[in-house]
Chain A
Amino acid sequence: MIFFFLLCPAIQNPDLFGITDLHINHIAHYNLMQCAQILQMLALSNWERVTGPYQQVCSLFDRNCLSFIMEHIFTVAKSSTMIIPRSSSIESIQLPFFLISDIELKFLLEYIGLFLERNDQPDQPLGTYFRKLPQSILNFEYESGKHSIKSENSIRLNIRKSKSSDDYIDSLNEFSSLNIKHLLANNGDNLPTLKCLFNSKQIFKISNQDFSTKFVGMKNEEKILESIKNKQLVLTETVDKIREEIDELFSLEIKCSTQIDDKHSILSIDEVNNNLSSLLCLNDGNDQINEMEDLPSQSMDDDELFAEINMQSLGTLTLQLGDIDDQHLATNREEMNHNNSNRNSPESMTSAQQQNLEHENIIDHHHGYSTDQSIVLNEQMNSDSIVDIDYFLSDIHSKIYRLISLIDFCHVYRRYRFLNLVNKNDFLMFLKILLSQSNDTNEMSTSVLIMDIIRIVQDMGQEELSNIFKQIEIDWKTRNFYIIYLLKSRQYLLQRLKQIDSVRQSLRKDHSCTDFIIISFLVQLILDKQESNIQELIRKFRDPSTLTDEKALLVQRLLDTTINKLQTQLFTDEQLILLRQILERHLMNRIYLLAFYPNGDIDKLRDQILHQQIQQQLSSNLSHNSKLLNIPIKYFTTSPWPSAQAELLLLSAYKTPRDKIQCIYRCCSHIITLLSTSQNSIPSADDLLPVLIFVVIKSNARSILSTIEYVNTFYRNEMTGEQSYYWTQFCSAVEFIKTILNNDQQLS
């Protein structure tokens, strides 16, 4: 099989497969074909009797020689690819989720087991981790493994990580955290969940410290107040951004999963899960905070009590947090859907249910969380300085919060800086300004709220008012850490997004590669059927009475008719273009010599003369500071533009005019990129042309003149925009070289 599909075609058409740059003529082609056939026969000789004319040849070889060759190839390949699987396996461990079939998983577990037995080092982190894997998972995996042997193609998403994250939730159980720590030690520090875990720990520590010190300093109240507002806004902004982020991620994922065909979609689901896992991490982080804040204070029973307190004071933050959590929930649910959609076999349905339960757990926690956050705030208020605060104050407090969340406070305040908001009268005035603004914009709910606040504030003394402001400041401080946390999460999400983007890119590349291979195969089939037409074309090309314009037309017509015979509606536009390109490549390959050197040896001679002249008169004694070209001094540092020269040398390797132009285009853009790296320069035509001439002379590619003729004959009318510009630059560079050579000759 390998011989049939990979090696033999490559031997037959080395030029098409990019093994060599040289043009292969028909005789060589035929010889290669025979070689390939013999190889094919030999490969099959173990299973089939060799017949026909090859019998004799084959008898010269050892029967098993090919399998030796193959073995050799494979061992070489193995040693060269060894590095890759290792790194990829590490990556897959680092991923919180990974895609694995039941059988594979079973093998993996068995393999780890074997590995451990053999090594017998109990203190190895892998061993500890393996032993501490929840027994349930092991059992479960084995069970489902058995099932899936029956229905072989049922592929299941194994969400190991989410299970261990449930372990978090269950507990602050040493077992699982140890577990994770070992894994961490094993893998470096890349487990996102763990990061979150540690982040949240840190946050908690800091916040603890801060609570003890928070009443120490309170100096310039106005400033602080302003900054409260600022931060408040930042908070809402970040919340919004994160929300957007999540939306974006989600649409992306959906795109991903629908976009590509079967194989790819599985991969992309994997991707989606990575993604979701990052969300989950967020959740985990939240939960973690939850638990940690619960833990020191009291047991689960007190939760209910908290909930009651909480009912009274739902601040805006809570609302916002609630929103986030809703978002999380939505994504979680989506994830479940994803999971469900991937489970076909009934036995895995049970596991889905199991997971549903787990998710519900998480959801519960989220509900708990939004409330808990405010509980904590409240609790601190109560426990510290504000024991005497009454219901009335907390009411106005929450109202001010709500107002802040509704209005672009910061922006408005910028215009009324002269107001000292801590002063009661000024504060009232500011409120009135806000009121008039909200009336202007017809925001009824806002203005009602402001009026209410005005009413309350009017009844209050200066003392109470400043108390409230102090309160707000404290609140802000407590939230500060959450803001940091949100920012970090956002950063993390952005990183993920980038990562996903690159994965998508590579998937797209793979996709186009498969397209290319499939279409190449198709083209070969098509061309076999078109053989008579091709012969006709070749005959016409040989006929000296055919004009060059006609030749171009003939090629185009043949391409058109060939493509029109296919059922074009089966292809996408991109595939059609690709099809045409490949078809063109094959066709031009057949008529290349006829088309490239229409006048036969005369053309070859002409090219050769130019090549020699450049070699003798220009190339050897030309340097980048030559007066002839007058290349600006600032570009000398990038001389002699080796990548452009290398590109140009490939010119004759490309067969179709399209490819040749692409080659020139790349060459020019190499030059421009290099030129633009030198300081303070935007290379214009004045700079490009001399350098291009230099590169053409130095690289001295073969058969330049014929190339120009060839492209102008077959591709001139299809050139557009940039391509045609750089092609013209190339032509004029060659033209210039010709004039120099002529002048030299006249002088001598």
Chain B
Amino acid sequence: MKTMAMTISNQQFKIVLLGEGCVGKTSLVLRYVENKFSETNQSTLQASFLTKNIFVQNMPITLNIWDTAGQERFHAVGPLYYRDSNGALLVYDVTDPDSLAKVKVWIKELRKVLGNDVCIAIIGNKIDLLSGLERDQMNNVLIAEAQSYATTAGATHYCTSAKTNYGIDDVFLNLTKQMISFNQTQQLNPRALNSTVTRGISIAADNEINNPNDLQSKRRCC
């Protein structure tokens, strides 16, 4: 009963989490939801479906984070998960070019199923594994490639480390803000009103406004 009342009052967003098996998406999401990074002692029962309640712009928001199976052989069932998603997090390993290639495939698929109705964030995880100059600048060939790809695909790009808890809160916060503004534009849009989870198409413009800023700020901090 209580949970029902809560869910009604809160704005709910569904975020799918995509990425190959070893890119660390479980650690990433556990770090965000429970602020934990540890292979050994843990009290968390599971990491497949997690919720996080946050306040953004004074609004209570519930994020439902859907983990998906990343192995190649489950690829075909992916579209079942994307349905009704508001946001998608695509995780790659900054030391593994294959994982980025996989991300590109997923983005195409997401756009195919959901069109422009979904806010996409590309995440380069494990930046703590970089060394030398790459580490200092938080940049390497792969990251640069991912950033340029993100701009063309209408997505945002972030560097994170679940181990050192770098940049993770920003990812979720910015994505949530994006989804909120998305929802607001879509509520103004009468075409979207008859679908249960309303979405707008103006996201492309949104992204174009947001992305350069985000990227610039990212570069500045890098």
B49 touches A630 (CB 8 A): no
A731 contacts which chain B residues (CB < 8 A)? 77, 80
What 11 additional pairs, Cβ within 8 angstroms, besides A675-B46, A722-B49, A725-B64?
A: A577-B1, A630-B73, A672-B46, A676-B45, A682-B44, A684-B46, A720-B12, A721-B7, A731-B80, A736-B74, A736-B76
Which residue in chain B gives the minimum CB-CB distance to A573? B1
A680–B21 Cα gap in the complex (Å)? 17
Provide the residues of chain A in CB contact with B25, threshold 8 Å: 684
- Min CB distance, A710 to chain B, in Å? 17
If the complex has contacts A574-B1, A682-B42, A689-B69, are A736 and B47 also in contact, measured as CB distance less than 8 A? no
Cβ of B151 under 8 Å from chain A: no
Cβ of B66 within 8 Å of any chain A Cβ, yes or no, is yes
Majority secondary structure, A binding face: helix
CB neighbours of B47 from chain A (8 A) = 682-684
Instruction: Scan A351-380; emit 1 where CB is below 8 A from any B CB, else 0.
Output: 000000000000000000000000000000
Counting CB contacts under 8 A, is A728 at the interface?
A: yes
Residues of A within 8 A of B (CB): 573-574, 577, 630, 672-673, 675-676, 680, 682-690, 717, 720-722, 725-726, 728-729, 731-733, 735-736, 739
Known: A672-B45, A732-B80, A736-B76. A721 touches B67 (CB 8 A): no
Q: Bound state CA distance, A676 and B30, in angstroms?
A: 15
Q: Are B1 and A682 in contact (CB under 8 A)?
A: no
Identify which of A687, A690, A725, A726 gathers the most chain B CB atoms within 10 Å of its CB: A725
Interface size on B, residues (CB 8 A): 32
B68, CB-defined interface residue at 8 Å = yes
Q: Are A682 and B46 in contact (CB under 8 A)?
A: yes
Count chain B CB atoms within 10 A of each CB in A577, A630, A672, A729 and give the residue with the most: A729
- Residues on B facing A (Cβ under 8 Å): 1, 7, 12, 21, 25-26, 30, 39-40, 42, 44-49, 51, 64, 66-71, 73-74, 76-77, 80-81, 83, 196
- Within 8 Å by CB of A726, from B7, B49, B70, B80, lies B49
A733 to B68, CA, bound (A): 12
Query: Which chain A positions have C-beta within 8 A of B73?
Result: 630, 736
Min CB distance A349 to B, Å, is 43
Give the distance in Å from the alpha carbon of A87 to the alpha carbon of B45 in the complex: 37
Shortest C-beta distance, A720 to chain B (Å), equals: 6
CB-defined contacts of B68 to chain A, threshold 8 Å: 685
Given A682-B44, A688-B48, A689-B74, does the pair A721, B1 have CB atoms closer than 8 Å?
Answer: no
* Residues on B with beta carbons closer than 8 Å to the beta carbon of A739: 76
Given contacts A672-B46, A682-B30, A736-B77, contact A721 B51 (CB under 8 A): yes
B81: chain A residues within 8 A (beta carbon): 728, 732
Ordered by A's residue number, 29 sampled pairs between the chains whose C-beta atoms are within 8 Å are A573-B1, A574-B1, A630-B73, A673-B45, A682-B30, A682-B44, A682-B46, A682-B47, A683-B47, A683-B48, A684-B26, A684-B47, A685-B48, A685-B70, A686-B26, A686-B70, A686-B71, A688-B69, A689-B74, A720-B7, A721-B7, A721-B49, A721-B64, A725-B64, A725-B66, A728-B66, A731-B77, A735-B76, A739-B76
Select which of B39, B49, B74, B77 is within 8 A of A680 by beta carbon. B39
